[in-house]
């Protein structure tokens, strides 16, 4: 099954003279484009730094932390989150640590439950 290309990405080029296709990282480009797509669920009141303001949080989650939280809540491991967001594994680990801290959770399950209580996840 062929993956759909996000809008704005071109189709692979026609075969060259030798009959071989030129190599293009379409999978990578698709993930990259997806990482920059606007998440309609993340819209809401924001402060000047672009973080979403939610009642019940002392420190709001950044847009990127919300992206990580949604992927985390769907059960994806850190490595898969890193691949989907096109960031380093250590970056995801840092975001998860910030999410746990900001939500006052001790693990991913508790963070997911707290996020649902606050209306951050649908």
pLDDT tens digit sequence for 17-56: 655 555 555 565 565 556 555 444 444 555 555 555 566 6
**What's the pLDDT at 59?**
86
Report the CATH number that the domain containing residue 96 is assigned in CATH. Answer: 1.10.10.10
**Is a pLDDT exceeding 50 seen at residue 107?**
yes
Question: What are the pLDDT digits (tens) for 70-106?
Answer: 999 999 999 999 999 999 999 999 999 999 999 999 9
**What's the pLDDT at 43?**
46
Domain assignment present for 98 = yes
Domain assignment present for 85 = yes
Residue 75: left (phi > 0), alpha (psi -120 to 50), or beta? left
Domain assignment present for 91 = yes
Domain assignment present for 12 = no
Domain assignment present for 97 = yes
Q: Which long-range contacts (CB under 8 A, 24 or more apart) does 84-88 make?
A: 84/31, 84/34, 84/35, 85/35, 86/28, 86/31, 86/32, 86/35, 87/35
Q: How many domains does the chain have?
A: 1
Which positions ≥6 away from 36 have C-beta within 8 Å? none
d(CA 48, CA 33): 25
Domain range spanning residue 82? 40-117
């Amino acid at each position: 099954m062929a993956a759909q290309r996000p809008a704005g990405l071109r189709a692979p080029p026609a075969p060259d003279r030798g009959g071989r296709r030129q190599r293009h990282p379409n999978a990578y480009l698709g993930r990259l484009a997806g990482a920059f797509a606007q998440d309609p669920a993340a819209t809401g009141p924001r402060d000047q730094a672009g973080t979403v303001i939610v009642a019940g949080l002392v420190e709001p989650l950044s847009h990127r932390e919300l992206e990580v939280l949604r992927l985390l809540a769907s059960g994806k491991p850190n490595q898969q989150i890193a691949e989907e967001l096109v960031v380093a594994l250590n970056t995801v680990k840092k975001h998860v640590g910030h999410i746990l801290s900001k939500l006052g959770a001790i693990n991913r399950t508790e963070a997911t439950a707290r996020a649902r209580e606050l209306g951050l996840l649908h």
